[in-house]
Amino acid sequence: MLGFRLKSGFCGALLLAATGTIAHAATPADHHGDVLVEVEAWPDDLHALGLDVWTHRTAEPRVLVRVTPQDQAALDASGYGYTVVDPDLGTRVQAERDRLTGAAAPVLGGGLDPTFHSDFRDYGTVDARLDALAAAFPGRVSVVNVGVSLEGRAIRGLRISNPGPADRPVILMQSCQHAREWISVASAMWAAEAFASANAGSLLDGLLDQAELVVVPIVNPDGYVYSWNVERYWRKNRRDDHGVDLNRNWSVVWGGEGASPDPFAENYHGTGPFSEPESAAMRDFVAADPNMVAMLDVHSFGQLLLYPWGYDYVDSADEATYDAITSSMANEMWAPHQEWYSPLQSSDLYPASGNSIDWGYGVYGLYSITIELRPEFTEKWDFVLPPQFIIPTGEELVIGLAELIEASVALGPGAPGDSGGEVETSTGDPDTGGPGDTTTDDPPLTSGDPDTGGPADTGVDPPPPPPSTSGSPPDPLPEGTAGSEGSDSGAAADPLSERGCGCRSSNGGGSGWWWASLMLVAIRRRRQRLGAG
């Protein structure tokens, strides 16, 4: 196993305590400079020296003592041996004060509306929050302009890092290629804010010394707005009257398996690679940054960590690395709420050519991972979730992202994977193979059980319990979703490309449960193919 596991104890509770102001003023009352030491002596021996002894009863000569700068000489003169347990008690004091004064509520920072994360937010509110965060944390956060959508909306994000060298590795997290996946927006904003507000000395703060994080919470603003105002289950962008699936519009094996040429299919790939301004803007943003090393593409739902290749059933040359990274992420993400995110090669879910992570990996060698957030596949929840899901899911995303940053820093830049099939685009992206060359040196996947054996493995378990830290979510929402799609069961042969089926009026009207059932069918079929039961 690679050595980039996060320290134990990194959990939601710690995260709450770790957020707040960036820097602390070192006044005497802050107890900065006070050290906690373990001294090899009896309590009374140290009382006699006038020290602040914290251990009252002990079976052996071993006690905890708070040693101020003024006390240090007396301790050293005493001759007792000691070890430092905590080099700066001021950090604890600061964290507690911040919490009790509200300065370290999970959503802090000067003038930021603390109710932002209490529910899902529309495009304008999310976009305004970016400016608010940049204003609240000027030393660490700035707004980045990525591009403009088809309907003219800004695609913007945040660059988050501590002051430092300009050539540090950059990790990109992009959300909401798919309009209806609202939890991806809310969780990304939570994660961005957790990093932005991380206390000096915290784990997240340490990562921001070593790397830069870029968060683009809404890649598909037109679709997101449409999902809010018109059609809740809209997936694609707003090209013409049908839309394009942005996650089939990237250039690596564009137009291959799991992408449809039917404009009205939910997985329509568009008229060519990067035909859409939203995917093209992300491409250009990545291409312009030579320090980019990783890409986390955030979706919902299913609680999955998906890695290349996704275009077809072929292993990548970096299978072992991806397995290590995603296993590490899943293990850490389990901690706060005991939710399991199953690591899986993307194509083991179903092939989806022209997706973003195949591009990030295939063209630039980015450590590229798709995360499918909560919920798991259940009959109760889908893209529409009660707001109580936001913070727990956000906490899980923060941890997964932190793990990916740590891994990326530890591993250093990766090499482009050979998909053998990037489709040329007019901008002259580096090519990983000949256009239209769909052959590959990689053998078909014949081993490698997609069943991770995790505590809550995908697809075969009963619905998960309510989020543990959020109280009970309300009863199933009275969703006005599309009616029965039972006849779509025939789509199992190719779950996505059958969706359009030439029936224009049905476009975008699929229910979340319909979608989840197709995912389940795809997983089960894949498992059967692998003989994995």
Distance of closest approach, residue 13 Cβ to ligand 0X9, in angstroms: 30
Separation between Cα atoms, residue 406 and residue 489, nearest integer Å: 42
Residue 191 or 219: the one with the smaller Cβ distance to Zn ion is 219
Distance CA 211, CA 170 (A): 6
φ/ψ (deg, to 5) at 270:
85, 180
Query: Interface with ligand 0X9 includes 355 (CB under 6 A)?
Result: yes
**Residue 310 in the binding site for ligand 0X9 (CB under 6 A):** yes
Look up residue 245 and give its amino acid.
D
Instruction: Write out the H or E segment, with its range, that includes residue 285.
Output: helix 277-287
Residues 9-28 that bind ligand 0X9 (CB under 6 A): none
Q: Which of 351, 386, 392, 414 binds ligand 0X9 (CB under 6 A)?
A: 351
Contact with ligand 0X9 (CB under 6 A) among 347, 425, 511, 517: 347
Residue 178 touches ligand 0X9, criterion: CB under 6 A: yes
372 is catalytic: yes
Residue 243's closest CA among 217, 269, 207? 269
Among 13, 84, 410, 503, binds Zn ion (CB under 5 A): 503
Place of tokens 């259940």: 378
Q: Which of 197, 237, 247, 303 binds ligand 0X9 (CB under 6 A)?
A: 247
**Which of 501, 520, 521, 530 touches Zn ion (CB under 5 A)?**
501
How many angstroms separate the CA atoms of 51 and 29, rounded?
A: 18
For residue 416, give Cα distances in angstroms to 193, 248, 317, 420.
31, 19, 10, 11
Number of chain positions touching ligand 0X9 (CB under 6 A): 15
Partner in contact with 503, chosen from ligand 0X9, Zn ion, none, beta carbon below 5 to 8 Å by kind: Zn ion
Segment holding 65, helix H or strand E: strand 63-67
Closest CA to 440 of 297, 530, 308: 308
Interaction between residue 350 and ligand 0X9 (CB under 6 A): yes
Segment interacting with Zn ion (CB under 5 A) among 31-39, 115-123, 381-389, 496-504: 496-504
Residue 415 DSSP class: P
DSSP labels for 195-210?
HHTBPTTSHHHHHHHH
Is-contact 322 274, C-beta < 8 A?
no
Binding of Zn ion by 299 (CB under 5 A):
yes
List the catalytic residue out of 372, 376, 396, 422: 372
Dist. CA 513–CA 105, nearest whole Å? 35
Site string for ligand 0X9, 368-387 (x = CB under 6 A): --x-x---------------
Looking at residue 24, what DSSP letter applies? -
346 binds ligand 0X9 (CB under 6 A): yes
Among 352, 399, 407, 523, binds ligand 0X9 (CB under 6 A): 352
CA dihedral 187, 191, 197, 198 (to 10 degrees): 140
Counting contacts by CB under 6 A, is residue 299 touching ligand 0X9?
yes
Binding site for ligand 0X9 (CB under 6 A): 178, 181, 247, 299, 306, 310, 346-347, 349-352, 355, 370, 372
Q: Which residues are catalytic?
A: 372
Binding site for Zn ion (CB under 5 A): 178, 299, 501, 503, 506
